[in-house]
A and B are shown apart, each in its own frame.
Chain A
Amino acid sequence: MLYYDQNKNYRDFEVLRDENKCIQCQVCVRQCSYEVHTYDEKHDEVTADQTKCVGCHRCEAFCPTDALKIRKNQSEFRDNALWTPQYLKNIYKQADTGGVLLTGMGNSYPYPVYWDKMLLDASQVTNPSIDPLREPMELRTYLGAKPDAVEVHGGNGHPRLDTSFAPQIPIEYPILFSAMSYGSINLNIHVGLARAAEEMGTLYNTGEGGLHPTLYQYGKNTIVQCASGRFGVHTDYLNAGVAVEIKIGQGAKPGIGGHLPGEKIGPEISLTRMIPEGTDALSPAPHHDIYSIEDLRQLIYALKEATDYKKLVFVKIAAVHNSAAIASGMVRAGADVISLDGFRGGTGAAPTMIRDNVGVPIELALASVDERLRQEGIRNRASLVVAGGIRCSADVVKAIALGADAVYIATAALIAVGCTVCQRCYTGKCPWGIATNDPYLAKRINPEIAHEKLANLIRGWGHEIQEMLGGMGLNALESLRGNREKLRGVGLNETELNILGIKHAGA
Chain B
Amino acid sequence: MEINAKGIYYRDLNKMIREAVAGGERSFVLRNINGQRYIGDGIEGKVKMDLYGTPGQDMAAFMKGPEIVVHGNAQDGVGNTMDDGKITITGMAGDIVGYGMRGGRIYIQGDVGYRVGIHMKAYKDKIPAIVIGGKAGDFLGEYMAGGVIILLGMFGEDRNGRPAAGDFLGTGMHGGAIYVRGGVDEHMLGKGLKPEEATPEDMKTIRPYLKEFCQVFGLDLNGILDGSFSKIAPATHRPYGNMYAY
- Chain A residues proximal to chain B, CB less than 8 Å: 93-94, 96-102, 226, 228-231, 233-235, 238, 259, 261-262, 270-271, 274-276, 278-280, 282, 284, 288-289, 298-299, 301-303, 305-308, 426-427
Contact = CB atoms under 8 A, between A and B. Distances in A.
Contacts of B122: 275-276
A128 B64 CA distance: 59
A499 to B, nearest CB: 36
A93 B244 CA distance: 10
A99 B244 contact: yes
B138 to A, nearest CB: 12
A235 B246 contact: no
Nearest to A96: B245
B217 interface: no
Interface residues of B, number: 46
B42 A262 contact: no
Interface of B: 11, 14, 18, 37-38, 41-42, 44, 57-58, 61-62, 64, 76-77, 80-81, 83, 96, 99-100, 102, 115, 118-119, 121-123, 126, 142-143, 145-146, 172, 174-175, 237-246
What 4 A-B pairs are tightest by C-beta distance, nearest first? Answer: A306-B42, A230-B100, A99-B245, A305-B38
A289 to B, nearest CB: 5
Given A102-B246, A280-B174, A270 B123 contact: yes
A93 B62 CA distance: 44
Given A262-B238, A289-B99, A100 B118 contact: no
> Residue among A99, A226, A261, A302 with the most chain B CB within 10 A?
A302
Contacts of A306: 38, 41-42, 61-62
Given A274-B126, A278-B237, A306-B42, A288 B174 contact: no
Given A235-B44, A301-B38, A288 B118 contact: yes
Given A275-B122, A302-B37, A302-B80, 8 more contacts: A101-B245, A229-B100, A238-B62, A279-B145, A282-B174, A284-B172, A302-B58, A305-B42
A4 to B, nearest CB: 15
Given A100-B243, A100-B245, A307-B42, A275 B96 contact: no
Contacts, number: 138
A49 to B, nearest CB: 16
B239 A302 contact: no
B14 to A, nearest CB: 6
Nearest to B101: A230
Contact of A288 (B37, B121, B142, B242): B142
A100 B243 CA distance: 6
> Residue among B77, B81, B175 with the most chain A CB within 10 A?
B81
Contact of B175 (A235, A279, A307): A279
B129 to A, nearest CB: 16
A194 B115 CA distance: 37
26 contacts: A97-B246, A100-B243, A100-B244, A101-B245, A102-B244, A102-B246, A230-B81, A230-B100, A235-B62, A270-B123, A274-B121, A275-B121, A276-B237, A279-B175, A279-B237, A280-B238, A280-B241, A284-B119, A284-B142, A288-B142, A302-B61, A302-B80, A303-B62, A305-B14, A306-B38, A426-B244
A317 to B, nearest CB: 20
A209 to B, nearest CB: 13
A301 B146 contact: no
A307 B243 CA distance: 39
A276 B58 contact: no
B121 A259 contact: no
A427 B119 contact: no
Contact of B238 (A98, A228, A238, A261): A261
Contact of A235 (B14, B42, B77, B172): B42
Given A230-B119, A288-B142, A235 B64 contact: yes
